[in-house]
Structure formats: C-alpha cells, structure tokens
Amino acid sequence: MAREKFKTLTEPMYYILLALFEERRGIDIMDVVQQISEKRVSVGPGTLYAMLQKFEDNDIIVTTRTEGRQKWYIITERGKQMLLGEMERQRQMLQDGEHVLSKKQ
C-alpha cells in the first residue's frame, strides 16, 4: 500500500527521507535538507509537517521521542528499502539516458 502510494518520490520527499537516516528533530529537517542539497532544495514548514504525518501513517518513519511540542523521527527499515528502490530507479533512468545520448553522438 505504502509502496504503491509512494512509488515515485518527489524531490522534497526524497530529501526528507535522506535527512532521516539519522534521528532528527522535526523542525531541524528543513535546515538539513538545505545542507544536503547545497541549498538547491528548500522544504516549507507546511509541506514538511504534512509529509511527516503521511510518512508516519505509512510506517516509513517513526517517532522516537516527544518533548513538549517537539518530536524526533527516524526512517524505518521499510522507508530505507523504499528510498533505496527510488535511488536504484533514478540510477537506472540516468544510465538509460546516457546510453541513448551516447549512441546519438
């Protein structure tokens, strides 16, 4: 179900999941995404909040602790498999593209 729903990941989804390979406080993810993407991708707080809820509902990430209104999250095994699958898909796309273009040149 989750795999079907998140079969392909959008850019913000991809970077949020990458950021959660380490346990992180929800509000810190926005900065981490900017760091990982070298400021190319920025995720708005509304987007991030909605995404975290969806990921958690689908067992892609899990809350590790809560302090007041702050929550910490980490990616689950299922989320890791999904992210690795997406990376493989993109690698394949890149390879196919390079293959076609090299033939043309």
Partner 1 sequence: MAEEKTVHKHYHYNETDDFASYLEQMAKEGWEFEEWTSGLLFRKAKPADVHYAVDIFPRAKNMDERPEQDTLEFSEYCRAAGWRMVDSKGKFCIFRRIRDDAVPIVSDEERFSNVTKAEAFQRIFMFAFMAVYLVLFLWIMFDVGFPDRTLSKYWHGIVLVWIVLSVMETGKLISFIRWRIMAGRQFSSGEKVYYGNHNRPHWSEGDLAGILIGVFLIALAISDGAVYLAIMLAVVLAIVLIMRIYLGHGRPSRRNKIFIMILITIIVIAIPFMIHLMMK
User: Smallest distance from the beta carbon of 35 to partner 1, in angstroms?
Assistant: 14
Interface ranges with partner 1 (CB under 8 A): 26-28, 30, 42-50, 53, 69-71
Q: Which is nearer to partner 1, 31 or 88 (CB)?
A: 31
Q: Which is nearer to partner 1, 53 or 92 (CB)?
A: 53
Number of H helices, E strands in the chain: 5, 3
Strands (E), 1-105: 24-25, 61-67, 70-75
Q: Which is nearer to partner 1, 34 or 85 (CB)?
A: 34
| CA distances, 54 to each of 6, 13, 58, 62, 80 (Å) | 10, 10, 6, 11, 16
User: Smallest distance from the beta carbon of 25 to partner 1, in angstroms?
Assistant: 9
User: Smallest distance from the beta carbon of 4 to partner 1, in angstroms?
Assistant: 20
Residue closest to 7 by CA, chosen among 88, 85, 94, 95: 85
Q: Which is nearer to partner 1, 27 or 87 (CB)?
A: 27
User: Smallest distance from the beta carbon of 5 to partner 1, in angstroms?
Assistant: 16
- Could you count the other beta carbons within 10 Å of the beta carbon of residue 102? 8
